[in-house]
Amino acid sequence: RKEVEQDPGPFNVPEGATVAFNCTYSNSASQSFFWYRQDCRKEPKLLMSVYSSGNEDGRFTAQLNRASQYISLLIRDSKLSDSATYLCVVEIGGFKTIFGAGTRLFVKA
Amino acid sequence: EPEVTQTPSHQVTQMGQEVILRCVPISNHLYFYWYRQILGQKVEFLVSFYNNEISEKSEIFDDQFSVERPDGSNFTLKIRSTKLEDSAMYFCASSERNTEAFFGQGTRLTVV
């Protein structure tokens, strides 16, 4: 099993749609979890941290399920500008982070 | 808004040469990282650095690589005897605590 696994997509959705991404991780000792977005040939940009209690930031909601070792990201009311690759990131301790390969999202008008 | 700055944005080097990639982390950050991303592949962790020493390194970060914080602001990655397969985007990142990391815009290294 890969350390961090994501569905590569692509997800093609119309503007205004709700879309959800999942990510699974293999190391049960993982401590911190994040979602980043990456535009083509750009640096990863932090979208949000993921807390055990779940957290929401505007149209974005992240959830963590430690028992099943997965995290999720929900995007509501998709915008054209949401088109990007979404990266699941897991910190496995010792300041070492593992990136998933990313899920590509295309939002169409 | 404070940001991580990397120079150069693009470096072309001949196989076998040494390169130094430079980074200026966000000023009050204490944790520093280097990552690489080969074109079309995922972001890979190389090394983390805290309190003037390496905290963690990946299998990729072998004797060919070294990091240094030569002064209070710069953080460098040195790659000795570059190989074709070292061609990639190299990202520097920093974080205030052991939390969210902020990335620089990257240095694209091309080994010819």
> Each residue of B7-63: pLDDT tens digit?
999 999 999 999 999 999 999 899 999 999 999 999 999 999 998 899 999 999 999
Please judge whether A100 and B42 are an interchain contact, meaning their C-beta atoms are less than 8 angstroms apart: yes
Mutate to test the interface with A, among B45, B50, B52 (most CBs of A within 10 A): B45
Instruction: Confirm if B104 and B4 have CB atoms less than 8 A apart.
Output: yes
Q: Report how far apart, in Å, the C-alpha atoms of B20 and of each of A59, B6, B76, B77 are.
A: 41, 11, 7, 6
Q: What percent of chain A has pLDDT over 90?
A: 83
Q: Which residues of A touch B55 (CB under 8 A)?
A: 94-96
- pLDDT of res. B73: 85
Q: Which of B90, B97, B100 to substitute to test the interface with A, most A CBs within 10 Å?
A: B100
> Between chains, do B98 and A49 touch, taking CB under 8 Å as contact?
no
pLDDT score of B98: 65
Give yes or no for a cis peptide into A44 (omega within 30° of 0). no
* Cβ–Cβ pairs < 8 A, chains A and B: 52
**Chain A neighbors of B104, CB-CB under 8 A:** 43
Query: Which chain B residues touch A102 with a CB distance below 8 Å?
Result: 42
Question: Do the chains contact at B100 and A95, CB–CB below 8 Å?
Answer: no
- Res. B99: pLDDT tops 80: no
A102, A10 Cβ separation under 8 angstroms: no
Q: Do B45 and A102 count as a contact with CB atoms less than 8 A apart?
A: no
Question: What CA–CA distance (Å, rounded) separates A53 from A6?
Answer: 22
CB contact B107 to A (< 8 Å): no
- Beta strands in B1-112, from DSSP E residues, in sequence order: 5-7, 10-13, 19-24, 31-37, 43-50, 53-57, 65-68, 75-79, 88-95, 102-103, 107-111
What are the residues facing B45 on neighbouring strands? B35
Positions of E strands within chain A: 4-6, 11-14, 19-25, 32-38, 45-50, 55-57, 60-65, 70-75, 84-91, 97-99, 103-108
Write the pLDDT tens digit of every residue in A7-57.
999 999 999 999 999 999 998 888 899 999 999 989 999 999 998 888 999
Residue type, A5: E
User: What amino acid occupies position B28?
Assistant: N
Q: Quote the CA–CA distance of A104 and A84 in Å, as a whole number.
A: 6
Which amino acid is residue A68, in one-letter code? S
CB of B94 within 8 Å of a chain A CB? The answer is no
What does chain A come to in residues? 109
